[in-house]
Amino acid sequence: MEALSTQHITKSFSGRVIIEDISIRLMENELVSLLGVSGSGKTTLFNVISGILQPDSGQVLLRGEDVTGHPGKISYMLQKDLLLEHMKVIDNVSLPLRLNGISKKEARMRTGPLFEEFGLKGTQELYPAAMSGGMRQRAALLRTYLGSQGGVALLDEPFSALDTITKGQIHTWYLDIMEKIDLSTIFITHDIDEAILLSNRIYIMTGAPGQIKDEIVIDRPRNDRKEFNLTEEFLSCKRKVLKTLEGK
């Protein structure tokens, strides 16, 4: 079933078209990557899908319902974890619930059990400043998950600020956690390896104005991605992606 789709979205700023006629879809529990060079309008597209920007034309459908320009339905995670320094981790993570009018106590109670699942056990009562970058991203993903009432989340380069080793660890963790929870995500990245490793499908975007150039399906099952990046299959996917990016 289709969790989310955009239909012919176009958005321009002061006469300059940033993204043009973008139609993508996201199936239930699917991980889709949006791969493209910087300046191809990926973040603008996300701002439109999340509802904080109104498109010039086109629609965003969440399970068939028109949510164009209505923020709060589709969850959004940015490169910076944006945990609020003045709140304890558990209050940061449960913030989406509180914004929906749930009391602090109730929000904490609902959030608590998920900490273990997300590998965040024992961090509830810490302030974000006391956590490592990798742990902070995990907390941010948990917050994103709790904010996704419709089970759909947008991740804008969520791991790009991490060092290579932490990134490798968090990739494994990410694939693992996505098997456990119901969340369909679109994932912006400019890292080709990351896109292939973490997705069912990759949309390739080219810039000025941003358009979807191609769609590449990664056949390997998500629960069989251990050392996937060392295989011939991975390389052939990568060749395909590079070719498209180079415009051949």
Partner 1 sequence: MKERSENITSKVPAVIALALILLLWWGLCASGMIPSYMLPSPADVVRAFIGDFPNLMYHAKTSLQEAAYGLVIGIGLAFVIATVMDRFRWLDQALSPILVITQTIPTIAIAPLLVLWMGFGMAPKITLVVITTFFPIAVGLLEGYRSVDPDEISLMRAMGADRYQIFRFVKFPSALPHFFSGLKISASYAVVGAVISEWLGGFEGLGVYMTRVKKAYAFDRMFAVIILIVIISLLLMALVDLIRTVSMPWTEVKAEHRNERT
CB-wise, 73 or 171, nearer to partner 1? 73
Bond before 55 cis per omega within 30 degrees? no
Among 57, 100, 223, 231, binds partner 1 (CB under 8 A): 100
CB-wise, 31 or 153, nearer to partner 1? 153
CB-wise, 40 or 50, nearer to partner 1? 50
Binding of partner 1 by 51 (CB under 8 A): yes
Residue with tokens 């990739």: 171
The footprint of partner 1 on this chain (CB under 8 A) covers a number of residues equal to 26
Q: What one-character-per-residue DSSP string does 210-242 give?
A: BEEEEEEE--S-GGG-TTGGGSHHHHHHHHHHH
Within a 10 A sphere around the Cβ of 215, how many other Cβ atoms? 13
Q: How far is the CB of 172 from partner 1 (least distance, A)?
A: 25
Q: How far is the CB of 68 from partner 1 (least distance, A)?
A: 14
Q: What angle do CA 14, 18, 24 make, to 5 degrees?
A: 140
7 neighbors 59 (Cβ within 8 angstroms)? yes
Q: What stretch of H or E contains 114?
A: helix 114-117
CB-wise, 145 or 234, nearer to partner 1? 145
Strands of 30-179, DSSP E: 31-36, 57-62, 65-66, 75-77, 152-156
As a whole number of angstroms, the distance between CA 228 and CA 220 comes to: 8
Among 39, 64, 69, 71, binds partner 1 (CB under 8 A): 71
Residue window 113-132: x/- pattern of binding to partner 1, with contact defined by CB under 8 A: -------------xx-xx--
Q: How far is the CB of 219 from partner 1 (least distance, A)?
A: 33
Binding of partner 1 by 217 (CB under 8 A): no
Binding of partner 1 by 102 (CB under 8 A): no
Within a 10 A sphere around the Cβ of 243, how many other Cβ atoms? 12
Binding of partner 1 by 41 (CB under 8 A): no
Binding positions for partner 1, rule: CB under 8 A: 47, 50-52, 71-76, 78, 80, 82, 84-87, 95-96, 99-100, 126-127, 129-130, 147
